[in-house]
Structure 1
Amino acid sequence: MSRHYCITCRYPQNACLCASIQPISPTTQLVVLQHPSEVEHKKNSVRILSLVVPKTLVYVGEFAADFADLQQYLTACNKPIYLVYPSTSSVSVEEQHINSDCVLLLLDGTWRKAFKILQLNPWLLQYPAVHLAQGYESRYRIRKSSRSDSLSTLEACAYMLNALEPALDIQPLTKAFDAMVTLRIKAMPSAVQARYLEPNTVNGKQSST
């Protein structure tokens, strides 16, 4: 029996997220370089990001040729451009002044796949790299990562926007993300659901309460 999908959010109708979607319009332009393996992933946070921030640009690929259109767009862009990627040369976005009217480039995939995209696209290294300060706790309970500080692409965007645009309400992003996580957990067998009890968090940072 075939499953019926919502034509708007593209999730199964019994897991439709439309009621949890509240679009926002940040000044910052979000651009996602997405690994092909993430496109149809059931836990794809970029799909939710694009619903909440409709102006998000998503380019799928691995090789430089896959991002030819993106490179043309960036070349013609008259805004500051930053690569969101932690490295020895990256700086904390919270500790420096960055004009919110800028472009943020984010790599969407596992750490290994994101690193591969970076290695295959050395042109990305021409842009200054920024990262989030330590202490953020991921709300992505249903997807494992090899790193304890791993955030989904949506979470990274939300916290980056919070740092760049303090007056912007990022709750629509976290609300929609939490709704997706909750629906995915509810779809699991009851014995499995117990593994994903929601931790206490405050503004994306771990709470001691």
Structure 2
Amino acid sequence: MPLLQVLDLSHTSIKSLPKSLPKLVALKNLLLRCCDLFMELSSQIGELRNLEELDLDQTQIIDLPADMGKLLKLRHLRVSFYPLCGKKKLKSNITIHPGIISNLLQLTDLSIGVDPIDKRWHDIVEVVLKEVSNLKMLRSLSLYLPKSQLLDYMISIYPSLSRFRFPVGHIKRRIIISCVPQETEAEFRNWDK
């Protein structure tokens, strides 16, 4: 389906995108919202040169591939990062590679959700903020700031924002059922609701 413009796989049990994804050359919207089992975005995403919206909110995505920086037409990016639970090792210690956000000059809407205790976000947040402060088209911004001093980066961009959300400081950690071992999740489902 080379003419497909919108692919909405939200609220499904999809674990990965098909290898044929780059053939969707006309794709403008890729929606994977609330795909609880989706953990890894293929570097093939960079081949979708016409993509304008990518929604990875409430997925279990671990990081963004460096090839995301090739999506020069991207206007809306929503992503939630969560650290892996259990014994599986992370491939990278970086959630967003430097240079990705600064290449996305057409972004008007950016939302980055993170687990407040994820050290990977604490290590990269200043770099991301510097890149975000150069996005002249940005109108909506939502991201977690581990400390209030990071609000200084927002001074230059704040006047152009029509919507923003900046939780600052320590936030109580929420329990996410999909992050517990499968045996615990199965036991939880058997409890009397």
TM (normalized to structure 1)? 0.26
Higher relative contact order (CA 8 A, sep 6+): 1
TM-score by length of 2: 0.27
